A and B are shown apart, each in its own frame.
Chain A
């Protein structure tokens, strides 16, 4: 009985954290039923994740930008422009892929730092500074694609980023039709997760802190392990992990770690929570602004790489409205416009929610006009839920 109570309490205390997760779950079930299972098919899920990639990485960066009370409207066309630069570098300048990718990422960082300079040093509102960026990058994108129109990217390695899958282990006859490396990585992830959690619990015990009861602890581990394995199984059933998925996972992991575990992460949230208090606490608010916009620029470049490689070309309108999708994903994921509140993982879920809606409604054959309306309503509902649960409890 107390076990049930414990679960109830855990869920209630964390309704805000799990709310979007549950919503995503509900949306997926809904589409699975309405599409007679097509939605949940490994092929579609794999496709869905690849579609989400370029928005998801933007949403991660945008989360931090909104946390420090700014906005960056330029990232959509910056992504498009960076994709075009990558294409030109490979097609016209014949740069090798392993030069192009770091080069484009660095250019992205520079573009982010430029906005940070306008915001932090010149005191221009980020809305205006990044709106100027939006115009400039849009023009720049049109300019570089002026003569050629869409630039086809012939490089197979580059195109694998958005379309390819990680290689499989040599088949030895067991589990035919299942991607074995993916399965192995999934099992590895579960093991690492369990070891990490057990260690954390032991450390807390060593400090003499209260830890969750054993049954809750085990239930949490079983639940998470089951979730990881379920996703792994679905992936392994098709072509295995896509490179896009690996990249998004890596970005999420790194940013989640930085925001939750490091001094830098704390400083970012402190600046968002109260910039003046942060400054008086010895935090260099300008430096944080540079870091956050710099990271945003880098992720915009990454988004551009993902998108252009997925389309195997750089188009004249690449990245259009990406910034709005990223902002929407961040808000759906629980970021607060007031600053100082919002999680990277939340925004990833937000991106998945929005992309699931698009994907699911496409499968159902719903017209694009209705799709926009539905997504608008979901955005509002998510934020209403967020505001309503924010100051409850605790």
Chain B
């Protein structure tokens, strides 16, 4: 009766320096809805990328059995042919093409050498009916909302005779009613024999819909729960998701928090015209002198957007609300003004928008405050060398010389250059966005030590992090962000991983 449609056995996948998946076993039974949960970085996406052929056979250890046969995919199209369809968070539709063109993109219905458009439109209409979407197939995809686009992705998958449908956080960008529609559709498809795997951070949704749930943590399978036999509750799932022991990787600090608000934001809202959505709703937060305050939350919850909107708003969101730096009401129109008012922002993506990789260490360190070492617009390059060497020593940046291009440094050292760059502006409030992402344990410890030293000297830090142990280990206070709102404020004492996770998935 219970036919196993997919079996992934003993999957191990290593990246340089990291074991992303460690002997993971994952099996899916025909006509079930199987949910895959875990923290960011637990290995969910890597596992799905192996399944879909993004990481080809030979790139990992272990075997995949689908429909009773061993599969060795070398490209995504191989897995598609076998009947596996993955729908990612970032949709893979072409906005300028029509709905029917998108549905049959890559597997067009041919009539000899040309595309049979009439047949395409007819079939597309059938597919749209199947997913319960009432739109004209001849409109362009860009004219539809995200929820409808998601359904079109599913229609596209169905048009390829999909046997296993994988959805990677499909509802993270959807509103309540669109999410509800999607869940109903999955139930409906199940009745018609489609098996689905759902990756989701929204645990309530998982509990509502799952037949079985598999929990991944740190690249390992923790357990698979059966909703019809076991108890699948939010707290049970959270415990499995975060239940790792915290090693003593966080250095002690002797900073005393002074009860003096250095930074405060009141009723802060932001609307992103690029995606036409409100991204931040009524944010209130404050930071005191010598304090490390964390913004916890899941990826995409709006933490980076919040930081950017505060830091001179370079993405040109429509913002309103009040911001105070050192008690002074400020209106920051550009990062330049933010820097002048005493803010600094170490970006999440150091390669993308943090550093100038083709320039050398010293040029990167001095860039945000070049005027400090310039006289009448002329850079004193000797002073630059002195200043850069100072940061190289105090932050222990490992580089053969400060003339080295940042491109050639390791991730941890690039991160230190990033931090050095923003310390050089001598900020009052330092915003660190995922300060330890992608760097090894040793470098992490050094970053933490630097943070402690800075707050001991009276600086204030806002840390954005997706790693719960880091948040618990480093913060004095924690704000939890979820869907552009602050859903809770916790002191270091009362905070637990479970509490944060609950607020973050609220």
Q: Are A261 and B363 closer than 8 Å at their CB atoms? A: no
Contact of A98 with B by CB under 8 A: no
A209 engages B382 (CB within 8 Å): yes
Please tell me which one of the listed residues B345, B355, B359, B386 contacts residue A207 in the complex, with CB atoms under 8 A apart. B386
User: Are the CB atoms of B378 and A261 closer together than 8 Å?
Assistant: yes
Contact with B along A272-305 (1 / 0, CB 8 A): 0110111111111000000000000000000000
User: Complex Cα distance A269/B357, Å?
Assistant: 12
| In the assembled complex, A263 has its CB within 8 A of some CB on chain B | yes
Q: Let me know if A262 and B377 touch, CB within 8 A.
A: yes
Q: Could you tell me the distance between the alpha carbons of A278 and B357 in the complex, rounded to whole angstroms?
A: 12
Q: How large is the interface on A (under 10, 10 to 19, 20 to 34, 35 or more residues)?
A: 20 to 34
Question: Is the CB–CB distance between B353 and A277 below 8 Å?
Answer: yes
| Contact pattern, B 276-316, Cβ under 8 Å of A = 1, otherwise 0 | 00000000000000000000000000000000000110100
Does residue B91 face the partner (Cβ distance < 8 Å to A)? no
Q: Is the CB of B339 within 8 A of A282?
A: yes
- Interface of chain A: mostly helix, strand, loop or mixed: helix
* Residue numbers in B under 8 Å from A12 (CB-CB): none
Tell me if B379 and A269 are in contact (CB < 8 A): no
A208 and B378 CA atoms in complex are apart in Å by 21
Q: Cβ of A341: which chain B residues have Cβ within 8 Å of it?
A: 358
Kindly state whether residue A73 has any CB partner on chain B within 8 Å: no
Q: How far is the CB of B407 from chain A (nearest CB, A)?
A: 8
Q: Are A273 and B353 in contact (CB under 8 A)?
A: no
Interface hit among B18-26, B262-270, B364-372: B364-372
Whether A273 and B370, one on each chain, are in contact in the complex, defined by CB atoms closer than 8 angstroms, is no
Which residues of chain B come closer than 8 Å to A261, judged between CB atoms? 378-379, 381
Chain A residue nearest in CB terms to B352: A276
User: Nearest-CB distance from B317 to chain A (Å)?
Assistant: 14
Closest A residue to B405 by beta carbon equals A394
B353 engages A280 (CB within 8 Å): yes
Report if A36 contacts B (CB, 8 A).
no
Q: Which residue of A lies closest to B363 (CB)?
A: A266
The interface residues of chain A lying within 8 Å CB-to-CB of B377 are 262-264
Contacts of A269 in B (CB 8 A): 359
Query: Per a CB cutoff under 8 Å, which of A280, A281, A394 touches B404?
Result: A394
Instruction: Say yes or no: is A340 at the interface (Cβ < 8 Å to chain B).
Output: yes
> What is the CA–CA distance of A338 and B345 in the complex, to the nearest angstrom?
26
Whole-angstrom CA separation of A22 from B45 in the bound complex: 52
Contact, CB under 8 Å: A283 / B336: yes
> Measured between alpha carbons, how far is A301 from B391 in the docked complex, in Å?
45
Contacts A266-B379, A270-B359 given; does A276 touch B385 at CB 8 Å: no
| Contact present for B382 and A270 (CB under 8 Å) | no
Nearest chain A residue, comparing its CB with the CB of B346: A280
Contact B347 A280 (CB under 8 A): yes
Contact between B314 and A280, CB atoms less than 8 A apart: yes
Which residues on B sit within 8 Å (CB–CB) of A282? Answer: 312, 334-336, 338-340, 368
User: Does A121 have its Cβ within 8 Å of any Cβ on chain B?
Assistant: no
CB of B342 closer than 8 Å to a CB of A: no
Any A CB within 8 A of the CB of B374: yes
The 8 Å CB contact of A204, one of B345, B359, B382, is B382
* Contact call A274/B385, Cβ cutoff below 8 A: no
Contact (A207, B374) CB under 8 Å given A270-B359, A270-B367, A282-B338: no
Partner of A274, one of B340, B357, B374: B357
The answer on a CB contact under 8 Å between A277 and B355 is yes
Which partner residue on chain A sits nearest B340 by CB separation? A282
Residue of A nearest to B311 (CB): A280
Q: Are B345 and A280 touching (Cβ within 8 A)?
A: yes
Interface residues of A (CB under 8 A from B): 203-204, 207, 209, 261-264, 266-267, 269-270, 273-274, 276-284, 338, 340-341, 394
13 new A-B pairs (CB below 8 Å) besides A273-B358, A340-B358?
A203-B382, A204-B382, A207-B386, A263-B374, A263-B379, A273-B359, A276-B314, A276-B353, A277-B355, A281-B339, A282-B336, A340-B356, A394-B404
A-B contact pairs, 9 of them (CB 8 A): A207-B386, A262-B378, A263-B374, A276-B314, A277-B353, A278-B356, A282-B340, A340-B359, A394-B404
